[in-house]
Chain A
Amino acid sequence: MSEHDDDHHHPRPISPVEARAQALEQLLEEKGLIPPGFIDAVVTAYEKDIGPMNGARVVARAWIDPTYRTRLLADGTAAIAELGFGGPEGNHLRVVENTPAVHNVVVCTLCSCYPWPVLGLPPTWYKSAPYRARMVREPRVLLREMGLALPESVEIRVWDSSAEIRYMVLPERPAGSETLSEEDLAALVTRDAMIGTARL
């Protein structure tokens, strides 16, 4: 008997939260509030096209082009739009730059604000109670727990996205990357480095 047949005869009971989500979807569909194909199109965009690879392109461009870097730090929204990125949660983007003396890290203590156009949707840990509770209170301790030990000489700046600005970290360009192409540089950039819980 194939798995399909097995499913057919013994369908997995749906969980209460699945039943609730289906109920809301059906009600909104009956009211004509969900355009046909809308759900798949939105989900596919965030699963395939909108993610940290966009932010990585911004970072790589800033590393190779000092004038772009200057524009990026002065007006993140406009400089990021130059590369074609924008949209929901991206109307007011601000890029904060790591240096040998300053490390930046982003949090949203009140909910889950995050720069969607450049980083995609946030990982579960970013939205979790421990991260939101602790990052503003003991950033150096929490970063070390998360694998990033920073010497006491480095100033840590925590950015709590409490209003309309969405923050992205511009990581330091790794040593030894001088000969890499823009594309290869982008491949070095990780999501966590752009949140600020990792360095490159």
Chain B
Amino acid sequence: MDGVHDLGGMDGFGPVEVEANEPTFHHAWERTVFALAAAISVQRLGNTDVFRHAIERMDPAHYLSSPYYEHWLTGMATSMIERGLFDRATLEAKAGGAFPLSRPVRGECPAASPSGPTPRFAVGDAVRVRNLHPPGHTRCPGYVRGQRGVVTRVDGRFHLPDVSAHGGQRCEQFSYNVRFATRDLWGNSSGGPQAVHVDLWESYLDEP
């Protein structure tokens, strides 16, 4: 989905604010949320892609205005309710008030095929990122779609998150590291050589 989480290249955010000597967690509830996510992972309730997609479906205003671990809290609660582990009313009764959740799933499992026995692309190949805008989960950042880059590594096969976020069977595809010149992506050529390297699954890529 072209969601609020897909932040690469977005203008208007201002400076990066760095907190000196930042603690690992700022509040007890952040510790709790982190550990709950670890527990759920140990229990194999869902997978990382389901969890990430639940966070991506947060209301954009909520996403941008809430602290990081509130994203985790919202994503966990949403995906557990969607799995039927408990219902929202039970959760809100325990919380003593509203428990904002993410918006419903709009995407479906794409018809993707596993990679063949050999990688489709080799190091040095020029590739173009397909101009896909699926309504569901994808790990293809918006800022590289339609762009031309060069393969710098072939990393082996990994399950395609677009499929596993939507309940599909694991679909193993080669993942490639692709290099894009920043002047190609953003049009600015000043400031010396700069490049962005992005890891992309095979079905995100095409011949140039």
Say whether A181 faces chain B, with CB atoms less than 8 Å apart: no
Task: Annotate B4-35 by CB proximity to A: 1 below 8 A, 0 otherwise.
Answer: 01111111011111110011110111011111
Q: How many residues of A contact B (CB 8 A)?
A: 69
User: Contact residue range for chain B?
Assistant: 35 or more
Q: Is A71 at the interface (CB under 8 A from chain B)?
A: no
Question: Which residues of B have CB within 8 Å of A35?
Answer: 39
Across the interface, do B45 and A92 meet the contact criterion of CB distance under 8 Å? no
A18 within 8 A of B: yes
Distance, CA A34 to CA B42, complexed state (A)? 10
Q: Report yes or no: B199 in contact with A160, Cβ–Cβ below 8 A.
A: yes
Residues of B within 8 A of A156 (CB): 192-195
A138 to B188: give the CA distance in the assembly, Å: 9
The answer on a CB contact under 8 Å between B197 and A155 is: no
Asked if A146 meets B155 with Cβ closer than 8 Å, knowing A109-B6, A162-B139, the reply is no
Given contacts A136-B182, A160-B196, A162-B199, 17 further A-B contacts (CB under 8 A): A21-B32, A22-B95, A23-B95, A25-B36, A27-B91, A33-B45, A38-B35, A109-B6, A110-B8, A120-B24, A129-B64, A142-B16, A150-B192, A157-B195, A160-B8, A160-B197, A165-B177
A residues sitting closer than 8 Å to B (CB atoms) are 16-28, 31, 33-35, 38-40, 42-43, 46-47, 51, 88, 92, 109-112, 120-121, 123-125, 127-134, 136-142, 145-146, 150-165
